[in-house]
Amino acid sequence: MIGETFTALTLPYGAEHTKTVRVYVPAHEEGETLPVIYMTDGQNLFGDIPVKYGCWYVGETVREHQQATGHAAVIVGIYNDGEAMERAGELTPKALGAFFYPPEMPPEARPQLIPTGEVFDDFVVNTVMPAVEAQFPVKKGRAYTAFCGSSCGGVQTFYTVLSHPEKFSCGGVFSPAFPVYVPQDLEQWIRSHVPEDMPFLYCYGGGSDPLEHQISLSLESVFAVLQDCCPADKLHKVIVPDQPHHESAWQMVFKEFLTRFLEG
């Protein structure tokens, strides 16, 4: 038996930058390969290092699931740029539509929100995935690969999974920041990009604070569009009204998402 490991990679991001990617490999037998989940906000996933906003504790969740069922997954945590505005731009693809700026957002701040989610998408598919598959004991192929994220990371997950259905069989779309887009634009993108081989989407929203309540209302609208153009067995929605926009809530629903992905 090979014990669990944490490995930090530094990979080229765009033309001039690098990005940290942290890979958690649970305990496994020699020669065994495992399914893999790629996740945004890598610095908030693992409880062995200090975190600023809260932690998902995904290593503990995977370990508990493995002890209970014998099944586990490699977790690949992709770090973000740290600052809120930069992170928001990094994880919001321009292709999903024009931005809907909230009235309380100062006009001088709006030009700072530059959507570059397509760059992040390219990084995941063409840099991170090949590096992980070359260096770690992961199963290759769509059936064994998932993507998961929260808030703007939920939006990025939604975009990447639907844009690359040949690579991902499952997406965890947690508290997605859909309200940042003009609804009509977002609906048009969805209807024109539903793939024939639709990945399974696990969609979650909370509601105990104003931001999460607004996100959940938007998620309900997006989910209605998905129901109109996607097979019902490819969609799952969970709304927990008493949960905030916080890692503690995403930690809770990640457990069910992990089970859905690993057990089918």
Q: How confident is the model at residue 209 (pLDDT cuts 50, 70, 90)?
A: very high
pLDDT digits (tens, 9 = 90+) for 66-108: 999 999 999 999 998 767 778 888 999 999 999 877 666 666 6
Cα–Cα distance for residue pair 234/231, rounded to 1 Å: 6
Report the C-alpha dihedral over residues 81, 48, 52, 240, rounded to 10 degrees: 100
What tens digit of pLDDT does each residue of 130-168 get?
999 999 999 999 999 999 999 999 999 999 999 999 999
> Closest Cα to residue 153, out of 45, 233, 29?
45
The residues, ordered by sequence, that sit 6+ positions from 251 with a Cβ below 8 Å of its Cβ are 55, 56, 57, 58, 61
pTM of the model: 0.95
Confidence tier at 35 by pLDDT (50, 70, 90): very high
Residues in the chain: 264
pLDDT value of residue 110: 65
Give the gyration radius of the chain's Cα atoms: 17
Q: What integer is the mean pLDDT of 42-64?
A: 88
